[in-house]
Amino acid sequence: MKRMMAITIAATTALAACGAAEPGEAAAGEASGDSLPAVTSADPADLSDGLITCAMPDFDGKVGLTTTERFILIDGQPKRYSDFQNQAFDLCQAGQENCALKIENGVIRMDWTSANGTRSRYDVDLGTLDIAAYRTDPGTAERSVAFRDGAKCVREPLPEGLEIM
């Protein structure tokens, strides 16, 4: 029972990191406002149009749980991607607080805080296709989230019939 509850909580948190603001969430500003460590691509960044899929097996030490983040690069700008709807969309609504999706020094940086105050951050190096995941629970310091060694993102051409929102 405890294991199922932990998996449910982890899955819910991972899903929350994937999309739009939850109902009733404030909308005003950009990412959390605190300074994040600078990031820079380890190799020359490939900013060409494409789909980037990042699967992170055994996410946060939970064997069998794979969290997947998908991004579309269009004209050098990142968008979130829903393979269910074949849509590229903006992660953040205009003026949404505690939400950012941008490219910084050749790295896609997704930073999102849920209504309950849990912050999820992902950095995808567009040169090496490595991904790093971080989590901050309310009242705690940011921590790195582990997943299976060797996991990398995969770059593919843009999907046919892609709808850009």
Q: What is the pTM of this model?
A: 0.74
CA atoms within 13 Å, Cβ hemisphere of 30: 9
Query: Over 70: is that where the pLDDT of 72 sits?
Result: yes
- pLDDT tens figures, 15-67: 334 333 332 333 333 344 455 667 777 788 889 999 999 999 999 999 999 99
Q: What is the pLDDT of residues 1-27, one digit of tens each?
A: 333 333 333 333 333 343 333 323 333
Highest mean pLDDT of the ranges 23-27, 44-48, 94-98, 156-160:
156-160
Rounded distance, CA 164 to CA 145, Å? 30
* 10 within 8 A of 3, measured Cβ to Cβ: no
**% of the chain surpassing 70 pLDDT:** 78
